[in-house]
């Protein structure tokens, strides 16, 4: 691609990154002249009709166009000055508005994105993009679905974080409907900085820093957890309860924790606190506590050779039989089978 040269140093600096993103490349020049989208994927078949999806009768771009063997992440700047036709693809897409604005139509719904918006789009979701202006910079981060068993990295990283688990559940519920989630990251300095680091890493090392890229994506996802948690608290302003602090307290004290103890610690009526958790997370105290204990048990099954009695005790279950029943109900297999398969 005809981009300005980056310095000969190993790492692109942030000033160079900004120049790189705002530079009008050869494809954008042509699109500005014609108003028609130009194919900038070198591996794409010149006969674009080969990518028509027979089911949806729109363009489907296969992951083979973007991911070479062994690669799991592909990043590019969306070319400006021409609309992107309705299309879909079989990988996860994150779009970040680096500057300006962007209008997309997702599943027939018009969505306005502004600077700092981060949209996470599931597989097989029809969407189109209106023409971007010169000051509109949108970053596309494509993630090979084979890298993640679900959209968020948390599930594969086996994090024992209630916030991460709840956010993943929120997305899963959302994907049953619109199948995308939009985050407003304008209040998060970390997200913009992490995106910048991700981009400089990607373009400086020419795809060789894949481990670093995965770590940056992981950190971005964790920051989205924080954003979600803070927003959940704001949405239930009447409580003025810091949901993320309560979840963190449960995270750290789940073994012997009771609702009354939690409520007393934060100075709230037990029933009121449990109801507020339900409104904020979709789960009441007992459901959240059980989920945390199951997460701990699953981690111990994979990382230790503890007996089932010890795992039940260390995870906070009142009895081994109760642990077995709840584990099988949640994971659709017994703890012994889970250990063997993991």
**CA-based nearest residue to 205, from 41, 69, 75:** 75
Least confident residue range of 9-18, 123-132, 195-204, 321-330: 9-18
Q: Is residue 6 part of a domain?
A: no
120 neighbors 52 (Cβ within 8 angstroms)? no
* Per-position DSSP letters for 89-126, written without gaps between them: ESSEEEEEEEESEEEEEETTEEEEEETTEEEEE-TT--
**pLDDT over 60 (residue 151):** no
Q: Is residue 289 part of a domain?
A: yes
80 neighbors 134 (Cβ within 8 angstroms)? yes
Q: Is residue 9 part of a domain?
A: no
Domain that holds residue 185: 14-231
Torsion sign, CA atoms 304, 310, 316, 317: positive
Q: In the prediction, which pLDDT does 8 show?
A: 39
Of 188, 207, 231, which closes a domain?
231
Q: Identify whether residues 76 and 187 lie together within a single domain.
A: yes
**pLDDT over 60 (residue 201):** yes
Q: Is residue 2 part of a domain?
A: no
| More confidently predicted of 233 and 88 | 88
Counting Cα atoms < 13 Å in the Cβ hemisphere of 112 gives 1
Q: Identify whether residues 122 and 221 lie together within a single domain.
A: yes
Q: Identify whether residues 315 and 166 lie together within a single domain.
A: no
Strands (E), the chain: 59-61, 73-77, 84-89, 92-99, 101-106, 109-114, 117-121, 127-129, 137-143, 180-184
User: CA 319, CA 309: separation in Å to the nearest integer?
Assistant: 8
66 neighbors 142 (Cβ within 8 angstroms)? yes
Q: How many domains does the chain have?
A: 2
Beta bridge partner(s), residue 73: 143
Of 231, 257, 274, which closes a domain?
231
Q: What is the pTM of this model?
A: 0.66
Q: Identify whether residues 242 and 226 lie together within a single domain.
A: no
- The single residue listed with the structure tokens 């519920």 is 173
Tens digit of pLDDT for each residue in 56-83? 788 888 888 888 766 788 999 999 999 9
User: Which positions ≥6 away from 215 have C-beta within 8 Å?
Assistant: none
Least confident residue range of 48-52, 202-206, 254-258, 319-323: 48-52
Q: Is residue 3 part of a domain?
A: no
Of 174, 205, 231, which closes a domain?
231
Range 131-146 average pLDDT = 90
Q: Identify whether residues 264 and 182 lie together within a single domain.
A: no
User: CA 168, CA 138: separation in Å to the nearest integer?
Assistant: 24
Q: Identify whether residues 139 and 48 lie together within a single domain.
A: yes
Least confident residue range of 125-129, 150-154, 303-307: 150-154
Q: Identify whether residues 145 and 30 lie together within a single domain.
A: yes
Share of the chain above pLDDT 90, in %: 44
Beta bridge partner(s), residue 162: none
Average confidence score pLDDT of the chain: 81
Query: Residue 200: is it exposed, middle or buried by C-beta count within 10 angstroms (0-12/13-18/19+)?
Result: buried
Helices 210-235 and 162-175 cross at an angle (nearest 10°) of 80
Q: Identify whether residues 219 and 245 lie together within a single domain.
A: no
Q: Identify whether residues 260 and 160 lie together within a single domain.
A: no
* CATH number of the domain bearing residue 295: 1.10.10.60
Q: Is residue 5 part of a domain?
A: no
Q: In the prediction, which pLDDT does 34 show?
A: 95
User: CA 34, CA 93: separation in Å to the nearest integer?
Assistant: 27
Tens digit of pLDDT for each residue in 327-342? 999 888 999 999 998 7
**CA-based nearest residue to 78, from 22, 19, 30:** 22
* CATH number of the domain bearing residue 138: 2.60.120.10
Q: Is residue 7 part of a domain?
A: no
User: CA 53, CA 9: separation in Å to the nearest integer?
Assistant: 44
User: Which positions ≥6 away from 42 have C-beta within 8 Å?
Assistant: none
Q: Identify whether residues 67 and 180 lie together within a single domain.
A: yes
Q: Identify whether residues 94 and 26 lie together within a single domain.
A: yes
- The single residue listed with the structure tokens 């400089």 is 200
**pLDDT over 50 (residue 5):** no
Q: In the prediction, which pLDDT does 165 show?
A: 62
Q: Identify whether residues 303 and 183 lie together within a single domain.
A: no
Tens digit of pLDDT for each residue in 278-300? 877 778 899 999 989 998 999 89
């Amino acid at each position: 691609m005809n981009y300005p040269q980056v310095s000969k140093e190993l790492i692109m600096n942030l000033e160079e990154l900004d120049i790189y993103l705002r530079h009008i490349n050869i494809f954008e020049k042509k699109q500005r002249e014609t108003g028609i989208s130009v194919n900038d994927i070198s591996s794409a078949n010149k006969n674009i009709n080969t990518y028509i999806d027979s089911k949806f009768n729109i363009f489907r771009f296969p992951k083979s166009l973007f991911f070479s063997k062994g690669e799991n992440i592909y990043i590019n700047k969306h070319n400006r000055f021409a609309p992107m036709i309705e299309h879909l693809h079989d990988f996860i897409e994150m779009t970040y508005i680096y500057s300006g604005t962007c209008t997309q139509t997702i599943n027939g719904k018009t969505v306005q994105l502004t600077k700092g918006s981060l949209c996470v789009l599931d597989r097989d979701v029809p969407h189109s993009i209106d023409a971007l202006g010169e000051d509109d910079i949108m970053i596309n981060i494509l993630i090979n679905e084979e890298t993640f068993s679900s959209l968020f990295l948390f599930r594969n990283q086996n994090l024992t974080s209630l916030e991460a688990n709840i956010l993943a559940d929120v997305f899963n519920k959302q994907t049953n409907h619109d199948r995308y989630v939009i985050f407003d990251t304008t209040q998060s300095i970390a997200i913009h900085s992490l995106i910048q680091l991700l981009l400089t890493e990607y373009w400086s090392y020419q795809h060789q820093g894949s481990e670093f890229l995965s770590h940056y994506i992981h950190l971005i996802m964790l920051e989205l957890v924080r954003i979600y948690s803070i927003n959940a608290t704001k949405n239930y302003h009447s409580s003025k309860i810091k949901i993320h602090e309560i979840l963190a307290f449960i995270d750290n004290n789940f073994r012997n924790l009771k609702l009354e103890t939690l409520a007393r610690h934060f100075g709230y009526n037990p029933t009121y606190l449990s109801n507020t958790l339900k409104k904020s997370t979709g789960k009441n105290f007992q459901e959240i506590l059980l989920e945390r204990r199951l997460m701990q048990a699953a981690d111990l099954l994979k990382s230790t050779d503890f007996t089932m009695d010890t795992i039940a005790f260390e995870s906070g279950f009142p009895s081994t039989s109760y642990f077995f029943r709840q584990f099988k109900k949640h994971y659709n297999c017994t703890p012994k089978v889970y250990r063997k398969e993991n």
